[in-house]
Chains A and B, each alone.
Chain A
Amino acid sequence: MTGILKKISQINFGLMSPDDIRSMSVTKIVTPDTYDEDGYPIENGLMDPRLGVIDPSLKCSTCGTKGGECQGHFGNINLARPVIHVGFADTIHKILRSTCNTCGRILLTDSEIFDYQNKFKTLIKNEESLTKIIKDVYTVARRDKCPHCEEEQEDVKIDKPVSIVEGNYKLTPSEVRERLEIITDSDSVILGVNAEKAKDGTQVARPEWMILTVLPVPPVTVRPSITLETGERSEDDLTHKLVDILRINQRLKENMEAGAPQLIVEDLWELLQYHVTTYFDNEASGVPPARHRSGRPLKTLAQRLKGKEGRFRSNLSGKRVNFSARTVISPDPNISINEVGVPEIIATEVTVPIKVTEWNLEELKGYIMNGSEVHPGANYVIRPDGRKIRIYDEIKETVAENLEKNYLEKGELGYVVERHLKDGDVVLFNRQPSLHRMSMMAHEVRVLPYKTFRLNLCVCPPYNADFDGDEMNMHVFQTEESRAEAKSLMRVQEHILSPRFGGPIIGGIHDHISGAYLLTRKSAIFNEDQVFQVLRKSKLPLPDRTGKTWTGKQIFSKVLPDDMNMVYRAEVCRKCDECTERSCKNDAYVVIEDGELLSGVIDEKAYGAFSGKILDHIVKEYGTDQAREFLDASTKLAVSGIMKAGFTTSTNDEEIPQEAKEDIEAYLYEAEERVDKLVAAYDNNELEPLPGRSLEETLEMKIMQVLGEARDKSGEIAESYFDINENNAVIMALTGARGSMLNLTQITACVGQQSVRGGRIDRGYSERTLPHFQKRELGAKARGFVHSSYKKGLDPIEFFFHAMGGREGLVDTAIRTAQSGYMQRRLVNALQDLSVNAEGKVTDNRGVVIQTLYGEDGVDPAKSDYGKVVDLDKLVDEMRIKSGK
């Protein structure tokens, strides 16, 4: 908030020249020792006090600020001999390969140089990437003879990581540097090194700067030493490495001065190169990593940045935050979908900063007087000078008094009170993995007893939450701007419709659906007392008593908007050949006229998550406020409805009479015989192959078809004995509350064919699945057909095949979660900067157009009708009802 704002016009990336390094350094580092006997840092040592301070009680001798404020200052080491920087070894190699070994000119003819210079100019003008053309230069500029001085060129090779070999001679870094020095500035540019002189004569980079003659020494704040409990000092890995460099550097210098034999000097030089290399990157290929005395590899500069635990991924892309909380979640059907129940213990810990004003002074004083322990209290007061005062019971009175006095009498502005979270505050609520925007939504706080976050069951689908121990995170907004933004954009009710498919993703689940069905089915008639109980419990306005009985449909109509008209087919619809509409025997034809449910039952299609039509209609026609009210009221109604009736299920629901079992058995035997016949036909070569299939494939397909039919048919037989009116399991399956008809028929009739990777089971022993069968046996059972039902029980062979099929499912889920996580990461990285502007144009962060019209049709899927711009049939139906037909 303070300071001057300036706009960055350009960023130049370049190399540091030795002069740059020296001029930014505050001291030369010479001695490899760090501290003297008394524990004081040695001058010109690695812990030189001029490099900055860590201890907050000390002042920095360079900049004068206290520890913690001083970011530290660089030092430098003068290397006795130059060494190659590992990070640039590849580039150096490429440059040497493309330049003349005597005259230092680039190995391109003058016309080629001219050509490339022009290409560079246009690319720079168009702000396009230069990487491709530079790569091109490196491939072209390889000649056996220099076009400028006619000198023969020898091949320059790189011996990873840092040795550069010409022919059979290994170039020393000094020689490499000499060669780089004679490359002209204009040639450097074509080689990808921006050596062009600016107007003031400064340069961003020179090729020879890739060879180190001076080594910058990072400030102590970058490599703090740790004092153990024993009083022993333990140095940072970087410091250790720098000590190594200094030692060798000194020995090298001494040896050179003493005129030691070339061999010894070269050995030491190599060693210095090794230490500098590992100082930059201790995992460079081809170099044994430098190790600690304990054998642990040192963590040097590159290791600090790289990988998942590196600076980029764990400190810059991802940060830990304050004002957040995490605990187990549990359900609460009595709070609104917009709310979240926050345990008191959390509410007293995370706070909201409130600016003190004339109008809230009394209120905030009250919070301060409550202290930090009692719930609507406050934890800190921040004075205008920035000091933060923790509120204790002992000082809370004085703090409150001072606040009032200073504010009112002295007119001091800018006090901030960090008060506890209280009902109505907006917070961000999140469950990992945060795969879509509905994984982070803004909720209103309801401070509640106990220690779990409470959430309305309707928001389970968007978070993909259940209550088997799931934990969720809460974040408290700290600025008014964020609060406002969250409230208008991130509130739960704004996310009822999913941008994934243009329908509601928040909606009734499980008991909400079976409850609503029980309430609205035809046989549901209630006397007035019952009706009042239900309405009262769902907090709906009570009508005048009339003494008449009510139908469930009338009760449900209470939560529908008065002027609503719609027609649709419910989930229980059996898709009969001819629809009898309002006189449907399943009561599946839903008609709502002027907010009155006239026919049809309420089930998943009405207000369930993913498919609720009424809910969808209300959001789109009446707005999100109405939708939230409808959802809160209707789910409460459904829950009180199911409590009136009571609801339970047991294996008795999957019982069918003996004759049905016999029917099923007969049918399955018949199917198995058909399979045997197919196999026999195949054996006798009587089978006709299907077009484009081999004989074996044809047989497999036909068998799969027969067995699939067998399971379906046996299921149908079982189904015909299930009555929705007296079977709760069937209610759940048909209304879409939980389970499916397939689940039920597998329990009662026949489990069916087990499959691994889409086909019947065909692995195992040679030419057979299990030794219980004949070789080359292709019958139903031999390839994993489970004839029995779950209720009857599987025989060992069936059980084993079933386990095989089950295992595939387990493996799939395990692999899929891992893979989709990685895919998500890559997708987000690729798409994060794209945005849609007001005209629907999609651009990236540079303004490059990706799509002229979002999605090529400009439709916001969240506001669409299940992905389509408009659903005409639906509109026509509505209008028909409105007009009275």
Chain B
Amino acid sequence: MKKSAWGLVDAFFDEHNLVDHHVKSYNDFVNHRIQDIIDITEPIELEQGEYSVETGQLEIKKPFTKEADGSKSLIFPTEARLRNLTYSAHMYLEMRLLKKDESEPDFEKVYIGELPLMLKSDICHLNGLNKEELVVKGEDPQDPGGYFIVNGSERAIVTMEEIAPNKIILERIGEVEDRRARAIVTSIKSGFRARISLEYRKPRKTGVFLRISFPYVPGEIPLVVLLRALGLSTDEEIITHISDDFNYQMIIADDIQVSDQGLKLEPSEMEELSQEERRQYLQTSAIKYIGNRVAKGMTEEYRIRRAEDVIDRYLLPHMGVESETRAEKATYLAEMTEMLLQVISETREPHDKDHYTNKRLRVSGDLMEDLFRVAFTSLTRDMSYQLERSLARGKEPSVKQAVRSDVLTENIKHAIATGNWVGGRAGVSQLLDRTSYMGTLSHMRRVVSPLSRSQPHFEARDLHPTQFGKICPNETPEGPNCGLVKNLALMAKISEGSDPAEIENIIKKMGILE
């Protein structure tokens, strides 16, 4: 490389730290996402809405520690390390208890728990200190930060690699000749993951080619039935929504015929119905069909309600959970179906799962978000339990007394201290490698794939050309983790994602047609 090019590299590192991805992501979590989680969480309601708890703004104080004698003092990371303390900030949340038909009281600030702090993040004491000041505070001026101190041990949260959510992934099952394929979307809506899987396969005897499965519906249901339930009632609508290609239309037409047998339609009943009534009739029979699956043995009314609820909430939740989005979801599924049929007829290549465009990295902020959401939910659950108890005893309920801050603190602390994250994942946070300075840096740029180490997964372990410039081609452990544990390339940055509405705006401004 020419000398001048090295200047460019230097300039890059003047601006970007090697652990920027952790710090930035954590800052975003602290500054925006925590508040979002609190705002989104369903408010506590007691006694059929007689009482309710409203939450307001969250305040995170700079880290301090409470001694046994009750005195408070600011705590710096070195002290936490030496005294086996947790370097964490106290969180205060505005809350008030609303009583029906009574005036709203003022918000009061309630201490809800502690949040372990990432070193060198915005609310860390070390943020913005220069070298000399850092030395005074007992820190290594070269230390990059980006990790936590829990019970005196330094813990780094390892970046997780996952298949890109909210994106259709087409894959072939078996060989081309088997004519089997699957389209998968992992739809994520505020922490809830709903995996939708649409499969095309030869039915065993007579049956449906296209079957779809999604959460809370046991087994698979015919795609056509689901589309009907979503409002594409007539055969024509379904066929034209899926494809213009005659060949595919034929497959769907066949499928419709077979699936309809399951709907228990009464042709005699349909004859006298008007166009609109027919649509309604077809849609409700499809919903009933699903209702029989999700709530077997219940009353018909409940079955229908439950089926509609499941469709709205657990089918492609990233497109919205309101019943108005059904039409949009139907279109999405129809398009997905066409893509799947194209894979079957070999006019479209299935996706390369190891292509880095189909991967997303979840950095510490994202993982903390998962953790906080669950911890906060258990806090609200505990609060409503406490409130109910004091009500049952005939005491005047008070928010301040109902909050047991330990619930939140311990939930978060325990997860970081042991690495056992919510959702049963282990080893998410790891003891920071201090073998050498480089070891530390490397540890914080580590990327772990959730694929099991016991299976071969040859393709996933290979160095994929799309990793060029993003993942280090050399650094991977030997042995069972080979190629599954990776490291970011030296000059790779992780982007933080943007607001979809903003992007939509920009695209619209560019003159795209609706």
Residues of A within 8 A of B (CB): 756-757, 761, 763-765, 769-771, 799-800, 803-804, 807-808, 810-811, 813-815, 818
Let me know if A800 and B482 touch, CB within 8 A.
no
**Across-interface contacts of B474 in A (CB, < 8 A):** 803
**Across-interface contacts of B464 in A (CB, < 8 A):** 763-764
B contacts with A, residue count (CB < 8 A): 21
- A810 touching B465 in the complex, CB below 8 Å, given contacts A763-B352, A800-B473, A815-B456: no
B440 CB → nearest A CB, Å: 24
A763, A771, A808, A811 — which one has the most chain B CB atoms within 10 A of its CB?
A811
- A804 touching B466 in the complex, CB below 8 Å, given contacts A810-B482, A814-B480: no
Tell me the complex Cα distance, A811–B355, Å: 18
Tell me the complex Cα distance, A807–B456, Å: 14
A698 CB → nearest B CB, Å: 20
Let me know if A761 and B479 touch, CB within 8 A.
no
Tell me the complex Cα distance, A329–B482, Å: 28
- The listed residue (A761, A799, A800, A807) touching B483 by CB distance below 8 A is A807
Tell me the complex Cα distance, A800–B464, Å: 10
B478 is an interface residue with CB less than 8 A from chain A: yes
* Residues B443-466 near A (CB distance < 8 A): 454, 456, 458, 461-466
**Across-interface contacts of A765 in B (CB, < 8 A):** 355, 465-466
- The listed residue (B354, B454, B456, B476) touching A810 by CB distance below 8 A is B476
- The listed residue (B354, B466, B478) touching A814 by CB distance below 8 A is B478
Let me know if B483 and A811 touch, CB within 8 A.
yes
Let me know if A807 and B461 touch, CB within 8 A.
yes
- The listed residue (B462, B466, B482) touching A756 by CB distance below 8 A is B462
Tell me the complex Cα distance, A771–B466, Å: 9
**Across-interface contacts of A761 in B (CB, < 8 A):** 465
29 A-B contacts (beta carbon < 8 Å): A756-B462, A757-B458, A761-B465, A763-B352, A763-B462, A765-B355, A765-B465, A770-B465, A770-B468, A771-B468, A799-B473, A800-B463, A800-B465, A803-B463, A804-B463, A804-B473, A807-B462, A807-B476, A810-B476, A810-B478, A810-B482, A810-B483, A811-B482, A814-B479, A814-B480, A815-B456, A815-B458, A818-B454, A818-B480
Let me know if A769 and B465 touch, CB within 8 A.
yes
Tell me the complex Cα distance, A814–B478, Å: 7
CB nearest to A784 among chain B residues: B465
**Across-interface contacts of B483 in A (CB, < 8 A):** 807, 810-811
A757, A769, A804 — which one has the most chain B CB atoms within 10 A of its CB?
A804
**Across-interface contacts of B454 in A (CB, < 8 A):** 818
Let me know if A803 and B473 touch, CB within 8 A.
yes
Encode contact with A along B457-495: 1 for CB under 8 Å, 0 otherwise: 010011111101000011010111011000000000000
User: In the complex, how many residue pairs between chain A and chain B have their CB atoms under 8 Å apart?
Assistant: 57
CB nearest to A757 among chain B residues: B458
Tell me the complex Cα distance, A814–B480, Å: 6
**Across-interface contacts of A763 in B (CB, < 8 A):** 352, 354, 462, 464-465
**Across-interface contacts of A811 in B (CB, < 8 A):** 458, 461-462, 482-483
CB nearest to A805 among chain B residues: B463
**Across-interface contacts of A799 in B (CB, < 8 A):** 473
**Across-interface contacts of B482 in A (CB, < 8 A):** 807, 810-811, 814
Let me know if A764 and B456 touch, CB within 8 A.
no
**Across-interface contacts of A769 in B (CB, < 8 A):** 465
Tell me the complex Cα distance, A803–B487, Å: 14
Minimum-distance CB pairs A-B, first 4 = A764-B465, A803-B473, A807-B463, A804-B463
**Across-interface contacts of A771 in B (CB, < 8 A):** 468
Tell me the complex Cα distance, A180–B354, Å: 58
Seed contacts A807-B483, A810-B483; 18 additional CB < 8 Å A-B pairs: A763-B352, A763-B464, A763-B465, A764-B465, A770-B465, A770-B468, A799-B473, A800-B465, A804-B462, A804-B463, A807-B462, A807-B463, A807-B476, A807-B482, A811-B461, A811-B462, A811-B482, A813-B478
A136 CB → nearest B CB, Å: 27
Tell me the complex Cα distance, A757–B458, Å: 10
Tell me the complex Cα distance, A804–B473, Å: 8
CB nearest to A816 among chain B residues: B456
Tell me the complex Cα distance, A881–B476, Å: 58
Tell me the complex Cα distance, A764–B474, Å: 18
A763, A769, A771, A808 — which one has the most chain B CB atoms within 10 A of its CB?
A763
B165 CB → nearest A CB, Å: 21
**Across-interface contacts of A764 in B (CB, < 8 A):** 355, 464-466
Let me know if A808 and B462 touch, CB within 8 A.
yes
B354 CB → nearest A CB, Å: 8
Tell me the complex Cα distance, A764–B479, Å: 25
**Across-interface contacts of A756 in B (CB, < 8 A):** 462
Tell me the complex Cα distance, A739–B464, Å: 30
CB nearest to A796 among chain B residues: B468
- A800 touching B468 in the complex, CB below 8 Å, given contacts A763-B352, A807-B461, A807-B463: yes
Tell me the complex Cα distance, A763–B474, Å: 18
Tell me the complex Cα distance, A756–B473, Å: 15
Tell me the complex Cα distance, A763–B357, Å: 13
Tell me the complex Cα distance, A765–B478, Å: 26
**Across-interface contacts of B461 in A (CB, < 8 A):** 807, 811
CB nearest to B349 among chain A residues: A766
B354, B464, B468, B476 — which one has the most chain A CB atoms within 10 A of its CB?
B468
**Across-interface contacts of B355 in A (CB, < 8 A):** 764-765
**Across-interface contacts of B458 in A (CB, < 8 A):** 757, 811, 815
- The listed residue (A757, A804, A813, A818) touching B465 by CB distance below 8 A is A804
Tell me the complex Cα distance, A757–B464, Å: 13
A357 CB → nearest B CB, Å: 54
B82 CB → nearest A CB, Å: 29
* Residues B351-404 near A (CB distance < 8 A): 352, 354-355
Tell me the complex Cα distance, A771–B352, Å: 16
Tell me the complex Cα distance, A815–B484, Å: 13
**Across-interface contacts of A818 in B (CB, < 8 A):** 454, 480
Tell me the complex Cα distance, A799–B352, Å: 23
**Across-interface contacts of B478 in A (CB, < 8 A):** 810, 813-814
B461, B463, B473, B479 — which one has the most chain A CB atoms within 10 A of its CB?
B463
**Across-interface contacts of B456 in A (CB, < 8 A):** 815
B355, B454, B473, B474 — which one has the most chain A CB atoms within 10 A of its CB?
B473
Tell me the complex Cα distance, A761–B478, Å: 22
**Across-interface contacts of A814 in B (CB, < 8 A):** 478-480, 482
**Across-interface contacts of A815 in B (CB, < 8 A):** 456, 458
Tell me the complex Cα distance, A390–B468, Å: 67
Tell me the complex Cα distance, A813–B466, Å: 24
A832 CB → nearest B CB, Å: 26
Encode contact with A along B329-356: 1 for CB under 8 Å, 0 otherwise: 0000000000000000000000010110
Tell me the complex Cα distance, A811–B459, Å: 10
* Residues B416-465 near A (CB distance < 8 A): 454, 456, 458, 461-465
A96 CB → nearest B CB, Å: 27
A766 CB → nearest B CB, Å: 8
Tell me the complex Cα distance, A763–B353, Å: 11
B352 CB → nearest A CB, Å: 7
Tell me the complex Cα distance, A764–B356, Å: 9
Tell me the complex Cα distance, A814–B354, Å: 20
**Across-interface contacts of B354 in A (CB, < 8 A):** 763
CB nearest to B474 among chain A residues: A803
**Across-interface contacts of A757 in B (CB, < 8 A):** 458
Tell me the complex Cα distance, A393–B314, Å: 80
**Across-interface contacts of B480 in A (CB, < 8 A):** 814, 818
Tell me the complex Cα distance, A343–B474, Å: 40
**Across-interface contacts of B465 in A (CB, < 8 A):** 761, 763-765, 769-770, 800, 804
**Across-interface contacts of A770 in B (CB, < 8 A):** 465, 468
B349 CB → nearest A CB, Å: 8
A382 CB → nearest B CB, Å: 46
**Across-interface contacts of B476 in A (CB, < 8 A):** 807, 810
A770, A771, A800 — which one has the most chain B CB atoms within 10 A of its CB?
A800
**Across-interface contacts of A803 in B (CB, < 8 A):** 463, 473-474
**Across-interface contacts of A808 in B (CB, < 8 A):** 462
A729 CB → nearest B CB, Å: 25
